């Protein structure tokens, strides 16, 4: 942390690009679900804009989260998570907040372009995404600090983003899109929950509330299991109901990775266990693989009955 880095390198560290799979996957799933259902007319340009807007919103959220986590004393030199830019004094809080605002403005500009291309449903989703990203940590709401982070992230980066990728292609709202978004929402929430489980002690010292703190380690571990297992059960249920094709069952190829993660988070696992250091990153990698396979299943189902 003491080595000198260039400004671009510091900003790269600050926005945490390794986390962008969490916003890219729901856009992929929603967009390719639309592609599977469309005979013609899929707009690849719109797909790229939606993907870019989602990632920029995510980057802006990362920056504003770092800002509020730092000024509230949640992030320190000794805690895991965050970019560590502010605790180590590599940039100032004002710089991080300004960077977040700039990214929000870019994301809003892309969103308005999408509204022009795809219509008002995208405007509604964009406004909800903006509110969700900003007030995840920003005052006076600070959803993250009130034990509502899991359901908030589930909605914002599950149904909302999947629906955004789908509706941007000119299709109309359908409940089957919400069903398809459920496993993605479960696993996005699992990323945050893994982070909160690991940080129970540190978050408690900072005086914030998370579901893991309020429920305790046994409850927190069970919730993590529920989120991972729920992703598989929702896919199986959709196959049985005919919402998705049997090709969607290829997501079960990720079961060994899920089992490995569930062995890492147990009621007895403490912060001192070094395996927890990157459990949120590993959960994000699992979410990416699961979502990618679900997307591949849409491609296979279009060409192979």
Contact 16, 83 (CB under 8 A): yes
CA dihedral over 168, 23, 187, 155, signed as positive or negative: negative
Q: Which own/partner pairs from 73-78 qualify as long-range (CB within 8 Å, at least 24 positions apart)? A: 73/206, 73/207, 74/145, 74/202, 74/203, 74/206, 74/208, 76/202, 78/202
> What is the pLDDT at residue 223?
97
User: What's the CA gap between 166 and 162, in Å, rounded?
Assistant: 6
pLDDT number for residue 271: 66
Contact 236, 249 (CB under 8 A): yes
Tens-of-pLDDT digits for all 305 residues of the chain?
445 789 999 999 999 999 999 999 999 999 999 999 998 999 999 999 999 999 999 999 999 999 999 999 988 888 877 789 999 999 999 999 999 999 999 999 999 999 999 999 999 999 999 999 999 999 999 999 999 999 999 999 999 999 999 999 999 999 999 999 999 999 999 999 999 998 898 888 888 999 999 999 999 999 999 999 999 999 999 999 999 999 999 999 999 999 999 999 988 887 667 778 889 999 999 999 999 999 999 999 999 87
Count of CB atoms within 10 A of residue 289's CB? 17
List the domains of the chain with CATH numbers: 7-303 (1.10.600)
Q: What is the model's pLDDT at position 272? A: 67
Cα–Cα distance measured from residue 229 to residue 265, given in angstroms and rounded to the nearest whole number:
14
């Amino acid at each position: 942390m003491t080595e000198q880095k260039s400004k671009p390198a510091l900003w790269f560290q600050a926005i945490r690009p390794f986390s962008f799979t969490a916003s890219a996957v729901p856009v992929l799933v929603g967009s390719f679900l639309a592609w599977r259902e469309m005979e013609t007319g899929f707009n690849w340009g719109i797909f790229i804009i939606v993907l870019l807007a989602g990632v920029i919103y995510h980057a802006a959220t990362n920056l504003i989260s770092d800002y509020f986590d730092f000024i509230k004393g949640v992030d320190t030199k000794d805690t895991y998570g965050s970019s560590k830019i502010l605790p180590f004094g590599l940039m100032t809080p004002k710089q991080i907040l300004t960077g977040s605002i700039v990214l929000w403005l870019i994301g809003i500009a892309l969103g308005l372009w999408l509204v022009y291309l795809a219509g008002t449903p995208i405007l509604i989703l964009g406004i909800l995404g903006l509110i969700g990203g900003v007030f995840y940590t920003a005052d006076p709401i600070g959803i993250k600090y009130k034990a509502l982070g899991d359901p908030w992230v589930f909605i914002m980066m599950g149904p909302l983003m999947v629906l955004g990728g789908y509706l941007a292609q000119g299709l109309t709202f359908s409940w089957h899109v919400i069903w398809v978004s459920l496993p993605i929402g479960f696993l996005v929430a699992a990323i945050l929950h893994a982070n909160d489980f690991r940080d129970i002690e540190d978050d408690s010292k900072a005086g914030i509330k998370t579901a893991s703190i309020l429920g305790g380690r046994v409850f927190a571990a069970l919730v993590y299991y529920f989120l991972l297992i729920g992703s598989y059960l929702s896919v199986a249920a959709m196959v049985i109901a005919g919402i998705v094709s049997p090709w969607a069952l290829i997501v079960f190829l990720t079961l060994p990775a899920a089992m490995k993660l569930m062995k890492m988070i147990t009621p007895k696992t403490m912060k001192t266990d070094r395996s927890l250091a990157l459990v949120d990153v590993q959960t994000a990698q699992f979410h990416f693989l699961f979502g990618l396979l679900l997307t591949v299943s849409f491609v296979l189902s279009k060409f192979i009955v």
